[in-house]
Structure 1
Amino acid sequence: MFKRRRGRSKHDELVTEDQLTETEQVPERGPFDESEAPDDGLERLDLGSVRVPVPDGGQLQVEVDPAGPVRAVHLVTPVGRLTVSAFAAPRSKGLWGEVSAELAEQLRRDGAKVHTEQGEWGQELVGDSPKAALRFVGVDGPRWLLRGVAAGPAESAKECAKLLYDVLADTVVARGEEPMPVRTPLPIELPEAILRHIQQAQEQEGQQAPNGQV
């Protein structure tokens, strides 16, 4: 497992801001805005708008639109699949409340059983569908919304959820300063090595004859 930091407990003694040193004012547990990203030496996968730690044994799965843009990057682990995405949000927080209500409605229309649970970052959505056990976690940040999704077999749902929490707690969001419509997905940029690998795979597919021969 990737390196963890000890987070603050909600029961820690309250102190005023002027009692904190500059170091202590940096959050110990994320997700982090780029402006307050910790210099902790933790290796993160840089996807442009988000930098996420990859759990031990995790593999990348990339969804690319035919037109070219990267639609999503998933972390496939032995206990399930994790997806972390960032979206533009208003300065006033609270977007996750709206989005989660819409997600719950959509999941129910798709035949899933849905209920809410209270987690570290607020309300979470838990869904039980024929295909997978699902958990949606949202974190409202400064002009961004970070959404994490865990999907996997019901028997490993708890382990998958814990892994998602660990990933979100160490994720860094790079929102940028450009104005964007609310809910616009922040662009994903793949590292050069991964991009080359995908391009080579696409070229090889293009060279395949209709009968499967090159």
Structure 2
Amino acid sequence: MFRRRRREQPDQAAEQEAAAPMRESGPWDADEPHPDNDRIDLGGLRLPHNPDFDVRLASVGDQHVGVVVLYDESSLQLQALAAPRSSGLWDEVRTKLASQAGVLHEQEGPFGTELSGEMRLDGDSRPARYIGIDGPRWFLLAVISGKAAVDDATAAAYHDFIKDVVVVRGDEPMAREEPIPLRRPNEPGGEAGEGPRFNPFRRGPEISEIR
């Protein structure tokens, strides 16, 4: 299911053109001008459609808390969290990840400073990259693992995907680091509420495939 904007009237189109995106790419905030591309509407996230990617909702109980995107022996975990209005979360989250995940090192990537190393999973490990993007009152955490963590060509496909993500924070009061609610494309929007916390070092939650 894709969400299309209604065609703009001439005056509206002129206003939209005047308010063209100041940045070349996202992730985008829903309230800022951004390209009108076909996207999968999951409530708090609108994801670009790529037929090569297998997009799934990650759930804890009956609440959707993140997205898993599978492609070319790799996975991308995405989660949007509420953030303070005055400051971002990536510096703080990056410090926590570095202390919990074992051997990680900082490097510069297409979204700024990221962490690279290995993800621990059930006593085993696999290469992983941790990317954080601070937005207006939201924080987007992207964890790339598997082949894409070490293969530039596969990673580039995920980078392009992340650059076209739209985050829908909404106006509801939310606690710091509370997951921004997600839903299936055919489900009505729900109220924001206190939800489970996402831990990228634990086994992934129950996965529901988007059909």
TM-score over 0.5 (shorter chain)? yes
What's the % identity of the aligned pairs? 34
Q: Structure 1, residues 77-135: CA drift from partner, whole Å, max 9, x if none?
A: 11411122111011123310000110111101xxxx21111123321011224432111
Q: Which residue type is aligned with residue 140 of structure 2?
A: L
Aligned pair partner of 1:27 in 17, 23, 36: 23
Q: Could you tell me the TM-score, scaled by structure 2's length?
A: 0.71
Partners of 2:159 and 2:168 lie apart in 1 by: 19
What is the match of residue 119 of structure 1? Answer: 109
Aligned pair partner of 1:94 in 65, 68, 88: 88
C-alpha displacement of 1:73: 1.9
> Number of matched residues?
170
CA RMSD across the alignment: 2.5
What is the match of residue 32 of structure 2? Answer: 36
Q: Which residue type is aligned with residue 18 of structure 2?
A: E
Partners of 1:89 and 1:154 lie apart in 2 by: 28
C-alpha displacement of 1:154: 7.1
Aligned pair partner of 1:83 in 77, 88, 91: 77
| Bigger Cα Rg | 1
Q: Match of 1:192, SS? A: coil
Higher strand share: 2
Partners of 1:136 and 1:59 lie apart in 2 by: 20
Q: Match of 2:107, SS? A: strand
Moved over 6 A (4+): none
Partners of 1:107 and 1:149 lie apart in 2 by: 12
Q: Match of 1:177, SS? A: coil
Q: Match of 1:115, SS? A: strand
Partners of 1:57 and 1:23 lie apart in 2 by: 32
C-alpha displacement of 1:37: 4.1
Partners of 2:50 and 2:142 lie apart in 1 by: 15
C-alpha displacement of 1:192: 1.7
Q: Match of 1:36, SS? A: coil
Q: Could you tell me whether the CA contact under 8 Å between 1:124 and 1:138 is conserved in 2?
A: yes
Q: Which has the higher contact order (CA 8 A, sep 6+)?
A: 2
Q: Structure 1, residues 39-77: CA drift from partner, whole Å, max 9, x if none?
A: 43x2211111111114341112333223x1123221111
Unaligned runs of 5+ in 1: 1-20, 200-214
